[in-house]
Amino acid sequence: MSGTAIAVARFRFSAFVHAGESARKYRLARVWLALKYLRDVNSDRVIRSVASAFCFRCLPAARDARLGRTSPVCISVFILTACAGPQSALAPAGVGAENLAQLFWAMLIGAALIWTVVVGFAVYVTCIKPGAHSETTASRLIIWGGVAFPVIVLAILLAYGLTLMPGLREAGEGLRIAVSGELWWWRMRYFPPDTENPIESANEIRLPVGQRVEITLTSPEVIHSFWIPNLAGKVDMIPGRTNVLVLEPTKTGVYRGQCAEFCGASHALMAFSVVVVERDEFDDWLEKQARPALRPRAPELKAGRDLFLATGCGACHTVRGTRAAGIIGPDLTHVGGRLTIGAGILPNEIDSFAHWIAETQQIKPGVHMPSFGMLPKGEIKAIAAYLESLK
């Protein structure tokens, strides 16, 4: 949204207040300002079109103080924005999410039918024919409208939901990924069907499109909940128990996963990226992930590697190809090739690595890694550059 548009919007917003308009106009002006912003910044073509249309409807309504009639239409735009995006269950990109979305719409239609019938009968007896009714008529209204019809609709919905379950329980197709919910990050181990040694990564999942992949879910400490809304439903990760989720992506793209169970101080900062690619691209990526880290050639990167090892980072982290073999923290062998660091909270850039190293506890309170802000800024920058180079 341009600075001029913001200035104009604020001027109109202030005009409503200082001109002594009613509180209804004041609130609607704020709705219009939000719609204007939504229209200008949203990349989704459908949402922009709808926001633009409603924006032009809301402004005249604000001038005419017709909030009661217009606000439900305007507010519906915000509901529409929740139906798309990289973390929306109503924008499915996997078989599991498609089934859940179908079930949601079916249940919504069923609930609307029940509501319409029950409220319709209530309106009939209180407004259309408010007089006394015979006992027979009242009994029929209660039994058929309040009992029989809801039971029939709910039974149909239950039967429909049960028919979806067998497909969700089908086994995977060879590839297995073991995911462990740590405090507060994700440990991923890939088990290809043609090898015995797992390939370890962290805070990011890569999946081949069109292939059913089995995800085994565990947690060593507290309960987490593994959820990728665009691909499937959520499954709890319980200490001492292994749960299984099968993912079958149907569209390539980048999606967002999140812990959906409160797990402590940094629960809201425990996310991960999900990258769905073509099968050939996935096979090439997995092959590269199995290799050790490349030796740095640039002098500054060599200095960063030496500082990484000298400051004790290898006691908690692994970088295959070096003597760093810690298992407490995430595997950093190819950390520079991930989309984010810190479990989905910082972009994968040198400055982000430096910020994370120096102020870990401020960024993610309670995480096991201490802050290393006591190191000279030059050394922190060198370590950050080395980590970013681990593609």
Q: Give Cβ neighbours of residue 174 (< 8 Å, ≥ 6 apart).
A: 192, 193
Q: What is the token pair recorded at 23?
A: 């509180």
User: Residue 253 and residue 241: Cα distance in Å, rounded?
Assistant: 31
Residue 364 is given by DSSP the state S
Q: What SS3 class is residue 176?
A: strand
| pLDDT at residue 263, as a whole number | 92
Q: How far is CA 292 from CA 158, 333, 334, 337, 385, in A?
A: 51, 7, 8, 13, 18
| pLDDT at residue 250, as a whole number | 94
User: Residue 103 and residue 236: Cα distance in Å, rounded?
Assistant: 21
Q: What is the token pair recorded at 254?
A: 């980048």
Each of the 391 residues of the chain gets a pLDDT tens digit; together they read 444 444 444 444 444 444 444 444 444 544 545 455 444 544 444 344 444 444 444 444 444 444 444 455 455 555 555 566 777 888 899 999 999 999 999 999 999 998 998 888 888 888 887 878 788 877 888 888 888 888 999 999 999 988 888 877 777 778 999 999 999 999 999 999 877 789 999 999 999 999 999 999 999 999 999 999 999 999 999 999 999 999 999 999 999 999 999 999 999 999 999 999 999 999 999 999 999 999 999 999 999 999 999 999 999 999 999 999 999 999 999 999 999 999 999 999 999 999 999 999 999 999 999 999 999 999 999 999 999 999 9
